[in-house]
Copies of this chain bind each other. A is one copy, B any other.
Amino acid sequence: VGPGDDAAVLSTGADEQLVVTTDVLIEGTHFPSGSRSDLIGYRAIAVNLSDIAAMGAEPRFLTVALTLDQIDDEWVKGFAKGIAFCASKYGVKIVGGNIARGALSLAVTAIGVVPTGQCLLRSTARIDDDIYVTGTIGAASAAVKDGVKVPPLELNELWSRRVDDMSCRYFMPLPRVQMGVALRGLASAAIDISDGLMADLGHLTRSSGVGAEIELDRVPVWKSMDAEIAIEASDDYELLFTAPAKEAERIAEMAVRIGTDITCIGKVTAGESVAVNGEVGRIDSPKGYRHF
């Protein structure tokens, strides 16, 4: 059943659970006004895939609802290209769509599957677990500060630069889909870093009823970025996860196998506070982190 019908019809097998996530992205809030529509589309898909990845699920299906002030054919064509491009890179099918008139915004729903009982939650971290993060932190936010100066290239070209070129990191984050799947049965808890490492670590520790201690000098920062800035930088969509210390070796091997860098940046602790140990001294539960 194609997008023309009232709704999408999806087949599922037994022994599986569905993982569903909806995100809304609004011009001016979730992406800069006047951005390229293909990049807006790419990003909208990628950030939803990241949510599915954080659950340890395999993304399968997407629906996209678009609201637009006025129908601009070129804009819509670019947008359609961007969502299709990203979806195809991750083997996900766009099964439904919707266009309405209104201020520019998108609502994307992603649906994934995971073997029953194996999904990763943010609420199941255990005291003394190691805390890991994928990739590096800070590039997307640095790109935003720099005005997101994406070179005027085709999607394919930008895609090949997405890892190393800071300007691509905002619109082309790297949803850690393979890592999420590989962490099933290994990680004790996971979350994606959309709000910033400290903010999302706060979400995870609060949900789990634990605290955390982070070593600032271990945080894998984008190039020469200041770690204190990087841990508060948003929009990276890296995975933050916890795992028992006894799994350290298996996790390290798995990360090498799938070719994704991971870094152990600290420990889950008893209590409620998130402490950051760093060169500037110990920052214990700074005020800004109270209201996660």
Q: Residues on A close to B: CB < 8 A?
A: 1, 4-14, 16-24, 26, 28-30, 51-52, 54-55, 57, 61, 63-67, 95-96, 98, 100-103, 105, 107, 109-112, 114, 116, 119, 121-123, 191-192, 207
Q: A4-B123, A9-B114, A121-B1 are in contact. Are A21 and B63 (CB under 8 A)?
A: yes
Contact A24 B119 (CB under 8 A): no
Asked if residues A5 and B109 are in contact (CB atoms below 8 Å), the reply is no
By beta carbon, the residue of chain B nearest A111 is: B20
Oligomeric state, in copies: 2
Alpha-carbon gap, A24 to B67, bound state (A): 8
Kindly state the separation between the CA atoms of A192 and B5 in the bound complex, as whole angstroms. Answer: 11
CB-contact partner of A10 in B4, B20, B30, under 8 A: B20
Please give, as numbers and ranges, the residues of chain B lying within 8 Å of A61 by CB-CB distance: 20
A54 to B10, CA, bound (A): 16
When distances are taken between beta carbons in the complex, the residues of chain B under 8 Å from A63 are: 20-22, 109
The 7 closest A-B pairs by CB, nearest first: A107-B107, A7-B21, A26-B102, A14-B14, A10-B18, A22-B63, A109-B109
Name 24 A/B residue pairs within 8 A (Cβ), A-sorted.
A1-B121, A4-B123, A5-B55, A6-B21, A6-B54, A6-B122, A7-B19, A7-B51, A7-B54, A7-B55, A7-B112, A8-B19, A11-B17, A14-B14, A22-B22, A22-B96, A23-B65, A24-B65, A24-B102, A24-B105, A26-B103, A29-B102, A65-B107, A107-B109
- Bound-state CA distance A11–B12 (Å) is 10
Least Cβ–Cβ distance between A113 and chain B, in angstroms = 9
In terms of DSSP, what is the predominant structure of the interface of chain A? strand
Q: Tell whether, in the assembled complex, residue B10 and residue A51 are in contact, meaning their CB atoms are under 8 Å apart.
A: no
Q: How far is the CA of A284 from the CA of B11 in the complex (A)?
A: 41
Q: How far is the CB of A208 from chain B (nearest CB, A)?
A: 11
Q: How far, in Å, is A32 (CB) from chain B's closest CB?
A: 14
Do the beta carbons of B29 and A7 come within 8 Å of each other?
no
